[in-house]
Amino acid sequence: MDKPSRILIVDDNPTNLKVLRSMLGALRASNLEVDAAATGDDALNLISGHRYALVFMDCHMPGLSGSQTAELIRAQEQQLLFAHTPIIALTAHAPDEGEAAAAAAGMDGFLTKPIDMETLRILLERWLPAQSAAPEEAPVSAPEDADAYDVTKAMNALGLPEETHQEVAEVIVEEIPTMLMTLHTLLDHGRMQEAREQSHILKGSMANAIFPQLREPAESMHLHIRAKDAKQSLAGLARLQKAYQPILDMLIARYGLRPH
């Protein structure tokens, strides 16, 4: 039996961590061991004690950014004569921006959020040793408009194993409303730089990968915030909240969750 490849995911967003872990498991199953770190400092501690076949690095984190963490990993490798660890940037930037930022920090590639299964599969084939992949299941079509809030179909379409659905739903129900409230407070007080950072995180949330109807309003709102248009930003936030509400209601009903 092949020895499992050890992978590290570095991301401060718990939804992103959970969903990417599930996607990796669906693609390689028992052939992977996945560790997670929520900060750059945690990642450095893990890497100093373990050898990883691949690291996924979120570019936008509080404290040490993904780029700073990658630079410190490269310095550590040179100092301690460690082998080069492939690092893949996770970014919500456009492909050209993401590639440039990843290369400047010494990273080996990038994935644009939200991540799709086929792109992730190709990346694993490139960077990991050849292994016996997990059996592929027949692809599940993305939900039609009439089924836009069918949670099971939406999660299956992304390739999430059914045993992870409850856990992912819990994180979304806990995380997204808090992020929306924080963003509203920042916009109300004219704190546009902080609002931009928060909307960037929201735009890159894996909730947007699971529920495509969130992507356009999240992107539109982010562009208004970048332009420092407070009025249109608040209007965009209201539209995003309206798009999210039926999803929140369905997750609560489907999985018996309590809103926070």
Give residue-wise pLDDT tens across range 4-16: 789 999 998 888 8
How far apart are the C-alpha atoms of 158 and 156, rounded to whole Å? 5
CB distance 238 to 245 below 8 Å:
no
Task: Report which of 253, 219, 211 is spatially closest to residue 236, judged by C-alpha positions.
Answer: 219
What digits encode the pLDDT tens for the residues 201-241?
888 776 777 888 888 899 899 989 999 998 999 999 999 98
* Spans of all domains in the chain: 5-136, 163-255
Residue 142 banded pLDDT, cuts 50, 70, 90? very low
Q: For the chain, give the mean pLDDT.
A: 82
Which residues share a beta bridge with 76?
none
132 pLDDT band, cuts 50/70/90, is very low
Could you tell me the pLDDT band of residue 2, with boundaries at 50, 70 and 90? low
Please state whether beta strands 54-58 and 109-112 pair in parallel, antiparallel, or not at all (unpaired): unpaired
List the end-to-end C-alpha distance of the chain, in Å, as a whole number. Answer: 45
Angstrom CA distances, 207 to 17, 136, 170, 175, stand at 12, 24, 11, 10
Q: Give 30's pLDDT tier (boundaries 50, 70, 90).
A: low
Fold agreement between 5-136 and 163-255? no
For the 5-136 domain, the top CATH level (class) is alpha beta
User: What percent of the chain stands above pLDDT 90?
Assistant: 27
Q: 163-255 has which fold? A: Four Helix Bundle (Hemerythrin (Met), subunit A) (1.20.120)
Q: How confident is the model at residue 259 (pLDDT cuts 50, 70, 90)?
A: low
